[in-house]
Amino acid sequence: MKFLLLVLIALLSINVSCKNDFRRLDNYTIKELSFFSQVGFYNHDCLTKWKDDINIAIKGNPTKRDMEIIDTIIKELKPLLGGININRVESNENFKISFTEKCPLGNYPYGVVDFKTKFMDWSSFRYIDLWINSNLKGTFREATIKHEFLHGLGLDHPQSRNTGTLIESNAEYASIDDYEIGMVSLYKFTPLDKACVKILYENCLHGGLNRTDFIEYLNVKKENTSHLKK
């Protein structure tokens, strides 16, 4: 009985903390907010993100270029994370990036992310296990690292295609060669990718926000915007 009471208190505390002040998103465009409505709800249509500092350990057989790419990712995305720090560490990591030939997480040809959330708080990441196929080459390899890293921060694939973003799924490509051709100019984070990371880590959006509530806010904003244009 005591355990059930503690569980109820914990659940109520999560719900209380999930009040979101959408007015603080007014600086974002309809395009940015609409795209976020597709990609910002990674875990069962709910917003899940980091609340603790991110400590990254790199394992397996990374190249010197891989290390440079990851350092560039950290430098580029850190200012978008609402005060959360990203550090590279040798041990005691909560975000592991592995470069190996065989995927330990299943039958994935390019890269994949597996995540664990905190106990009693599924809206907050506890550990990320990110794998990259060490046989990948060139811009394909770089794009895949960045694509999977966005998943590790809490972004999902969009439903729409041809968005010109790195977070768009690579699953539509039949082969590595096709994917590399398709990504030859898309190995850098786009403004839309960055905007979605920044929205995700706005302090006014709490973990656990569901997609339906966000879309309701977005529809009201669209209606108000259309009235202003008339």
The string of pLDDT tens digits covering residues 118-137 is 998 989 999 999 999 999 98
> What's CA 91's distance to the chain center, in Å?
23
The rounded mean pLDDT for the chain is 86
Six-digit token pair at 140? 């394909």
CB atoms within 10 A of CB 61: 11
Q: Which domains does the chain have, with CATH numbers?
A: 21-229 (3.40.390.10)
CA geometry: angle 94, 157, 101, nearest 5 deg: 55
Give me the residue label for tokens 């966005």.
150
Residues in the chain: 230
Per-residue pLDDT, averaged over 71-98, amounts to 97
pLDDT at 184: 54
**Percent share of the chain, pLDDT over 90:** 65
pLDDT(174) > 60: no
Per-residue pLDDT, averaged over 80-92, amounts to 96
111-118 and 86-88 as β-strands: parallel, antiparallel, unpaired? unpaired
pLDDT(58) > 60: yes
